[in-house]
Amino acid sequence: MNPLTPGRTPFALVADDDIIIRMFAREALEQVGWIVEEAQNGREAWTAFQHRPPDVVLLDVMMPEMDGFATCAALRCLPGGEHTPILIMTGLDDFDSITKAYNAGATDFIVKPLNAMLLTHRIRYMVRANQVLQELRASQATLTQARDAAIEGARLKSEFLATMSHEIRTPMNGVLGMTDWLLDTTLTAEQQDCAQTIRSSGDALLIIINDILDFSKIESGKLSLELLDFELPVFLNRVVALFTERAQRKGLVLTSTIADGVPSGLLGDSSRLQQIVCNLLANAIKFSDHGMVSLRIDLDQRPPEQRLEFPATRYGEISADDKRVIHVRFSVFDNGIGIAPGAFSKLFQPFVQADGTTTRKYGGTGLGLAICKQLVELMGGHIGAESEQGRGSVFRFTVPLQQRFPNDEINRRAA
């Protein structure tokens, strides 16, 4: 409670072997509404403090048995004494004495002979400042507890999601495997259609499960990158092949290009790059009913001060070579429904879609772009989007990769 709160009488402890000083301090404080208890020396003050902790302590320096410095240090060790304002009253205004007072734990000092108005104002300021400090400490403790609870809640959530996703994926793989076996048997047209529906629905569910598993791994910091040797043209052809039939079914033209100057041989996590690109292509096709979906790969020519750093530590014990780092930009263009200007802030948030109505029409968990963003940032890159509602969108991400040199001693598994 604030000792200066209306309705509460503040309490001061004055310790000085000079009865005149004690009487002067008592009169000055009582005139402004304080209760005062006196002590003739440091030991009496130490005992009185334990019996009734005061709102402020006034200590003389030169006292028998325990001087003001020793008393101040002793009071700081008592329960409640660590934050109580302590004012040292001294006739010694030299630098060493002032330094010694602060080192002993004094809040402030005042030089004798005392001035009644200065004394009361100094004490009022000390008490108010101490109250503000205590409130700040209490707020900080509350915020720290809330932060720790939030972190623990997020950890438990991610752990639960990872566990559940893993446990669900195991029987789901069994369902998909038996469905494949069933499709290879002799079935009627109706049975074939039912089995195919089971298979496509299972595939869709497995994608959701994998997204949740990846998201929980990234959130918990358990996802690591691999530094692999891959050929960019091979990588591009494989990714495009995954979506060719899907685009054709919707009457979309799917194109891909690699700009001149982009090296073919690269080092990076090709599987995570493929995951990002596939997610962006899947969205582009899902939200487009006509026109073209294009994937373009080029170099992001940034000035030196804006260049991205290759996060070598995230790829294991691999040293980064600035001379070989290049900034590769992947861009996915579409002629789809576009994104409303007010929805951009939601694009890369987990479990959120730019427009809630798209969930009902197009499906999805809203995790895809959040995972893309986290993977890109894990690689040391950045991702963004441009769009015009009703006319299409372009999603771009840039990541630092390393050029492959002929003498590289590295995993040669090509993409």
The whole-number pLDDT of residue 75 equals 93
Q: Would you say 101 and 73 are in contact if contact means Cβ atoms under 8 Å apart?
A: no
CATH node for 11-114: 3.40.50.2300
Mean pLDDT of 189-210: 86
Q: How far apart are the first and last CA of the chain?
A: 67
The whole-number pLDDT of residue 258 equals 95
Amino acid identity of 299?
Answer: L
Average pLDDT of the chain? 84
Amino acid identity of 401?
Answer: L
The whole-number pLDDT of residue 415 equals 47
Coil, helix or strand for 336?
coil
Mean pLDDT of 317-335: 78
**In the chain, which segments carry CATH 1.10.287.130?**
148-219
Does the pLDDT of residue 410 top 60, yes or no?
no
The whole-number pLDDT of residue 203 equals 82
Pairwise CA distance, residues 304 & 340, whole Å: 34
Helix (H) or strand (E) holding 256: strand 253-258
Does the pLDDT of residue 318 top 90, yes or no?
no
* CB crowding 251-290: b at 16 or more within 10 Å, else e: ebebebebeeebbeebbbbbebbbbbbbbbbbbbbbbbee
Mean pLDDT of 249-255: 93
User: Which of 162-171, 208-217, 362-371, 389-398 has the weakest average pLDDT?
Assistant: 362-371
Burial of 153 (0-12, 13-18, 19+ CB in 10 A): exposed
Question: Tens digit of pLDDT for each residue in 169-185?
Answer: 788 888 888 999 999 99
Pairwise CA distance, residues 76 & 45, whole Å: 12
Which fold, 148-219?
A: Helix Hairpins (1.10.287)
pLDDT band at 408 (very low <50, low <70, confident <90, very high): low
Mean pLDDT of 243-256: 92
The whole-number pLDDT of residue 312 equals 67
**In the chain, which segments carry CATH 3.40.50.2300?**
11-114
Mean pLDDT of 100-115: 86
Pairing of strands 392-403, 325-334: antiparallel
Mean pLDDT of 144-152: 85
Instruction: Identify the CA nearest to 282 among candidates 236, 242, 234, 330.
Output: 242
Burial of 87 (0-12, 13-18, 19+ CB in 10 A): buried
pLDDT band at 295 (very low <50, low <70, confident <90, very high): very high
Most confident of 130-134, 277-281, 354-358: 277-281
Question: Tens digit of pLDDT for each residue in 13-72?
Answer: 999 999 999 999 999 999 988 999 999 999 999 999 999 999 999 999 888 888 889 999
Instruction: Identify the CA nearest to 400 among candidates 293, 294, 318, 283.
Output: 318
**In the chain, which segments carry CATH 3.30.565.10?**
228-403
Instruction: Identify the CA nearest to 70 among candidates 108, 106, 111, 104.
Output: 104
Report DSSP letters for 117-146, one per residue.
Answer: HHHHHHHHHHHHHHHHHHHHHHHHHHHHHH
Spacing of C-alpha 83 from chain mean position: 32
The whole-number pLDDT of residue 360 equals 44
Whole-number Cα distances in Å, 22 to 25, 53, 106: 5, 18, 19
The whole-number pLDDT of residue 355 equals 54
Burial of 109 (0-12, 13-18, 19+ CB in 10 A): buried
Does the pLDDT of residue 271 top 70, yes or no?
yes
pLDDT band at 411 (very low <50, low <70, confident <90, very high): low
73 or 130, higher pLDDT: 73
Pairwise CA distance, residues 110 & 129, whole Å: 17
Does the pLDDT of residue 303 top 70, yes or no?
no
The whole-number pLDDT of residue 168 equals 81
Does the pLDDT of residue 322 top 70, yes or no?
no
Structure tokens that stand for 91 in this block: 């006739």
Q: Would you say 85 and 29 are in contact if contact means Cβ atoms under 8 Å apart?
A: no
Phi, psi of 99 (to 5 degrees): -60, -40
411 or 101, higher pLDDT: 101
Question: Tens digit of pLDDT for each residue in 349-388?
Answer: 876 655 555 544 555 556 788 889 999 999 999 999 998 8
Mean pLDDT of 220-232: 85
The whole-number pLDDT of residue 160 equals 77
Pairwise CA distance, residues 164 & 327, whole Å: 37
Does the pLDDT of residue 163 top 80, yes or no?
no
Percent of the chain having pLDDT more than 90?
35
pLDDT band at 136 (very low <50, low <70, confident <90, very high): confident
Does the pLDDT of residue 404 top 70, yes or no?
yes
CATH node for 228-403: 3.30.565.10
Report DSSP letters for 15-35, one per residue.
Answer: E-S-HHHHHHHHHHHHTTT-E
pLDDT band at 395 (very low <50, low <70, confident <90, very high): very high
**Which segments of 74-121 are extended strands (E)?**
86-90, 108-111
150 or 413, higher pLDDT: 150
The whole-number pLDDT of residue 414 equals 46
